[in-house]
Structure 1
Amino acid sequence: MLVAHAAWHGGALCLWAERTGSREPDPDAHPFATRDFTGTSYEPMVRGAFRVELAMALPTVGGMPVPSPELDSTPHDEPPRLREWRVPALVLEPFPAMALLQAAEHSGDVVCGTDLRYLCLLAEEAVHLVGRGQVLPALLREDGDLVARWRPVFDDGDRFGDLVRAMPSACRAADGGRPAAEVLREALSGLVDTAVRGIVPHPLLPPRAGRVPDRLPLAERWVEALTGPNPVVAREPRDDPDELIAELDAWAAAVRRPSGPLRVCFRLAEPGADELDYGQGGEKSESWRVEFALQGVDDPSLYVPAALVWAGEATSIPNARETLLEGLGRALRLFPGMARALNGDTPHELVLDTAGAFRFLRESAPMLAAAGFGVLLPTWAGRARLGMRLTTRDDPDEGGGAAAGSGFDLSGLMRFKWDLAIGDESIDEDELAELARLKTPLVRLRGQWVELDEEQLEAALEFLRQPRAGTMTAAEAIRAIVNAGDDALPLLDVDADGAFGDLLSGQADRRLTPMTTPEGVEATLRPYQERGLAWLRFMSDLGLGGLLADDMGLGKTLQTLSLLAYEREGGRTPRPTLLIGPMSLVGNWQREAARFTPKLRVYVHHGTGRHRDEDLVAAVGRADLVLTTYGTAARDAAVLGRVGWERVVCDEAQALKNAGTRQARAVRSIPARTRIALTGTPVENHLTELWSIMEFANPGLLGPRAAFRERFAVPIEKDGDERAALALKRATQPFILRRLKTDRSIISDLPEKQEIKTYCNLTPEQASLYRATVDDMLAQIAEADERQRRGLVLATMAKLKQVCNHPAQLLKDGSRLAGRSGKLERLEEICGQVVEQGEKALVFTQYAEFGSMLQPYLASRLERPVLWLHGGTSKQARDDLVQHFQNDPEPSVFLLSLKAAGTGLTLTAANHVVHLDRWWNPAVEDQATDRAFRIGQTRNVQVRKFVCVGTMEERIDEMIERKKALADSIVGTGEDWLTELSVAELRDVLWLAPEAVAD
């Protein structure tokens, strides 16, 4: 028996197989692996493939790789461990690889492994994307070459996440393992590129007429490389591809993906769950069940069980039975265990035992979801986990333990206790022993089902053998929390009281008494700066490094200078502080120190005339603050290391984000009692940058970089692992003070208004109506007199605005709203985000009829009331609406007619303003915005002005922006000024550009 496997490695499909009975004498060679497909149906498809040997991290038990379930389904007595094995494999060129993936599952003499089946699914997904036109051309840099590629338009985050979670580990096992999301992007992009090249003719452009120039434009060479087998773009001197790359990237970012109406859905019901009343008698089942159903794609709440379909009670759904059977047939290859449920004439469910339910949860459900099927799982699935919980309390015998003096003492003792827990429930040794005895992957504990594997149980039993109660210092507790837990037995929660609890919760700055402005500071600190100064002193007193990550403009420089001034009050003369920053900021620090802390002695160590050797040590001894650059610090690290520094401060500390650079290593080598990192962007691209900055501030705190990447960076960035994110937050939060301008405690001092243009596309329906309206107006205006002309222009402008809002507003036919307007789609997204963040928004429209259409639609989509104020609202109702909006703590959206609510109201509960359709008079729009941005507003206000790209809305907006200084004279009231434009000018303003329409 031959079981075929596949991995995606080096941008190509790598194929290998397991064969029973084969053995290799080499202890590092996979004993069952082969690349020999001679005599099988795969042989013609792998001819020409070149041979490689892959290093693959595979599950191993007893020194042998675990065979595929297709070869051996015998359970193992011990949990498998990953070990690297050498595997002989074949690397297929793109077109043979695509052919194999499209034919692999139909071969009768070779069994597909789960990893190969997954890649077959990806090949089908690629073909599906190409068939629907969900691809865009791209220009990329690969290994020093410019290459033309076709890339998938894959903007459905949930679908992408499902594919990531469904990926079998063997698909990404090459070279010790890679993140699933990275492999998925690479594989899907490669398969899409191959699929397009298989159907698009080559060359794509027609032959040039006349003489061919010596140097073809880059764009033409790129288009030529988009088809045919060679994607490399021929290079010419003076090529500058950045602009073309940026335009293509922007194009890809603007595209949206459509979806279909119905899909087959699978719902897992646990034992004892009530049967739905559709012919099952209302009894309770003692088995697990996978229920089949039809579900709406756009509206998942549309859910019709298969039993209702077969009973003839789904008459409102055309071809319901055919849709159900076709979907179940497609799902069968991803969920082979479903076969026995399809033997009858009316398949509606699959009955499973506990082991089968566990396999469905872990294997089939992710694969089905990735393939676009609906999957509904119990609410507990994947949530409740076995883990550890730490409880700490101040030790009363030590006078309060860590709470002392200024509020904390790392050497203070505290009582601790470790417990085992599942979810929110603690479990004792007897319960754990019973769970271990049952040896089942799904167990029922205190009324809820929990997934529990052998590795978790082994880790828990080992945990019980360790001391779990006693006393330890606060410093030991911090290290224990940072290093506690792993995938098998994570740290679920820390329950700490007093100052230690505040430190761990990241609220130390709020617990500490804010410090008043030190005597040596010639400024008045804002309240949040006083808290920041108290936190900096708190961390310094503890001897801990800290990361002050305040937003830009919140005064990190002033807070740091204030700390130095405080330390010199009362005649204290601590050792000097070394400040390292970019060259551009050294002068700023010098000026700020002279302005705010003139008594501080400052020495700038930079330039060819700087002190060297003993002269430098002497100069530093006469200073309170030494300023230098990253480059100088790296060159002079040896002599700077001879100084007894109180602290080292790194400004714009993202300069240390690459921990392995000579500069970062040199800065870390300079010894100091404490360290402070200052940056408003602690993570610019990757989480390892945070590790690098924290390695400077508190060396060794987060462990080795490789371990940090494996434990935190990869699971969080690639897989969206919430548990890893929580663990990282718990590990770093005590050492980071992060304040944002949007923080309510900060914004009371710094209210700002941020204006954002929100660009939207038209749907094809909107574009058709837009063109027809413009054509009709231009035809009439040529024969109209001056009075008629003005009326035509204003009427056409109004119609085009309505088209840009929604076709139903222009047609006035009461038709559905969903899926027909780019503006409405974007408004729904923004309102959803606002409500999710617990905030409030004002949405202005100049059309009362459109507001009346939007109000019930948004209310149903957001699942909460949406207020609506217009000209017909009575004064009492108006006042009630305003009071409700201002005083109700719940997040909400307030729709307002621009004329009825543009002035005279105070609506400071909102910190978001949306101008859905534009008045094209900045003064009128600003008055409406000022309903929220006025005295009493304590938060930043984000103002979004919607503009449909490629339409008159964009071009008129550009005209206003160019003439803002003359806005009062050019833009009077309303749109009357537009009636003075000539026919040619009107045509330029009104024409519909190709980029206006979204697919």
Structure 2
Amino acid sequence: MIVEPGQVVFWRPDGGEPGLPGRSGTVRVALSEGVRTVPARRVPTGEAAQLLREGTGPAAEFWALAAEAGARLAEAGWTGPLDPTEEQWLRRLADAMPPHAHAAPVPGRPDLLPERYPLLLRFLGDVAGLEQRVSLRIEAADPLEGRFRAVVQVHGGAEPLVDAEQLWRSDDQDTRHEVLLALRHAAEVWPPLAPLLSAAVPSSIPLGDDEVAELLTGALDPAGMAVHWPAELTGLTARAVVRPGAEPGDVRSFFAGDRVLEFDWQLALGETELTREELDALVEARRPLVRLRDRWVLLDRTTALRAQARVLKPLTAIEALGAALTGRTEVDGDEVEVRTDGWLEDLRVRLSAAPEPVPNPPGLAAQLRDYQLRGLQWLDTVTATGLGGCLADDMGLGKTITLIALHLHRGTGPTLVVCPASLLGTWESEIRRFAPGVAVRRFHGSSRSLDHLDGGFVLTTYGTLRADPGPLAATAWDLLVADEAQHVKNHRSETAKALRTLRSAARVALTGTPVENTLAELWAILDWTTPGLLGPLAEFRRRWGRPVESGADPAVAEQLSRLLRPFLLRRRKSDPGIAPELPAKTETDRPVSLTTEQAALYEATVRELMAQVAESDGMARRGRVVKLLTALKQICNHPAQYLAESGESALSGRSGKLELLDELLDTILAEDGAVLVFTQYVVMARLLRRHLTTRGIRSELLHGGTPVARREEQVRRFQNGDVPVFLLSLKAAGTGLTLTRADHVVHYDRWWNPAVEDQATDRAHRIGQTKPVQVHRLVAEGTVEDRIAVMLRDKRALADAVLHAGDAALTELTDAELADLVTLRRNG
């Protein structure tokens, strides 16, 4: 084997093919029978160390030893000069170089082998990573005519930079030999350098346009030879420009319509855009280097084509907005910079700015917190464009009241809210509480109607939308809201298709979990709120989904963030400026409708047991009233509890409370939360655990019969995060436990005395709790639970009695009062 500048050449004296990796080629070597050309493999010096150590024969052993010496010099910080001791040792090493280690003749002198010591120094410099010795400097031979030449220049680790022409005036034969070796290797890679090898002085070569173009595209990169271009030489910046034209009178209709915007190439020298005349001159030049504004400018083929074909395919309004937001777009498969101006640039700035608080809207019976006011301003900004957005705050941050505030702020027409059936009661309750006087109706159940609709809120369910989309689709809504929007993350589902048939001036999605598994779920939500922004799903997956989910390209993730930021507002309780504004404990009554089965059982039980109450008096009557109340509360929980069904009975789809609990758990667990679920009935707790097990949700169950040691183990598992759900009997677990890992508490059924519920809630909301606690009280609408909850809120005299005596106070009601309390009131 021999060495060349920057590489080791492996060859065999018998002329056979070397069985090694590397770039295949040939090498001329001097053997006993004369100079021969033999097959060779060239390996970069930095990659050849292991092959040298594994090689056999005197040449391999020599260069392996030399490689070790070069590595030691590099560790010592060698820059070129040697102290006398080092030089003496290296000269002795060079003297021991075997013939096959320097068998390549000097170019042009087949009878002369290279000197050993200069060859060794060149190899040591390569191993130590010293700067290369030969490069090309491009000069304008005739600036007016645009002719160029490549000048050979030589430099070493500690030597000044000199032209080859100057070097050839000296007597430094060793360096001359090194330069010729480097040029010979480079000429094998790029043949236009070959005339230098036969020149008396290898000083320079003229360059035609083709050679300039080849050098611009890295023709000498494989040879490791640098090319230095004139300092004044510069390139053109090519960017795509959206030209929005005159500002539309109605931005909403602009984005809702089929308008297209001009889109073309803009070429600039620095920050200054080229004129049309300069672009025409570039096209006519047909050269890789052109003179422009007294400067030499590189003009590669791609840029030249863009100067010639300046007009691009027009963009739709939403495509133009997306390109403006990211500052990038794809043109013929290439990512290019995008700029815009005028009103579209103003809109980009406004949408990208951080939301600022706006005044509390008139008519809202509450004072929004600062972060909620910022959320209102954000919603107003995106909906004012005729587009929409996704409010994806954590559960408990007040998405519902913020949306009610948006309705009041807009005040331009009816708002339709589509939500799971389990949330109808919550929406109606919150609207009546925070927007008193605003009309609210349900489009749900058998007597649904949109007659005489004049503003206000209409509430419907995803199931009703699927079953009866016609009346909803025929109405022009001002605002369309999809609550728990993760329900439409499958864009091919019937629910998602039905949702897209509804007409509205703006759309808002509400969800605490915008992405549960993949970015395609987020695409489904935003493609509904802001159609076209993210493009077709296949294109979204290719351009954004796969690169971001793999983590392979942070720059793509940042571009996607710029695109989504104006249309997706996500705040967490842990965000700065959010949690400090929250109360330590937020309590919410969550009304829920009975299922058909529950309602039928409830009414039949009222008829049967009220008849028994009417026929009795004294203690017997009191006992039957308690029996009635107990039965009704169990029916409100779940028919399986009241009917004492076996452990094999179906549970899903039979209880409004169970459906709402599932909704809550989906959101809580998606946020990595933990929850305590209290019920006063052990039987109900066991039914809940069976249901959670079928759903694959881990839970613990603690009741009065749980041994002390087992209780301690359950608490430890929950506090350590082994299980996310703790089911607890209200009386058994209402005191004496510390369960501060929970940030949510669910009261599945109501205890008439709120103090008892408060004690249970305090298992999570106590010293050691570092997170805000959300308390959810499930209340069956239109039932005895609903009526007593209202009394407790209103602090009526009867409520005071109930607080002190519980069910016993209700046994003293007259038959008429009791009937009024327990009779089922149906909604719509």
Is TM-score (shorter-chain normalized) higher than 0.5?
no
Q: Which has the larger radius of gyration?
A: 2
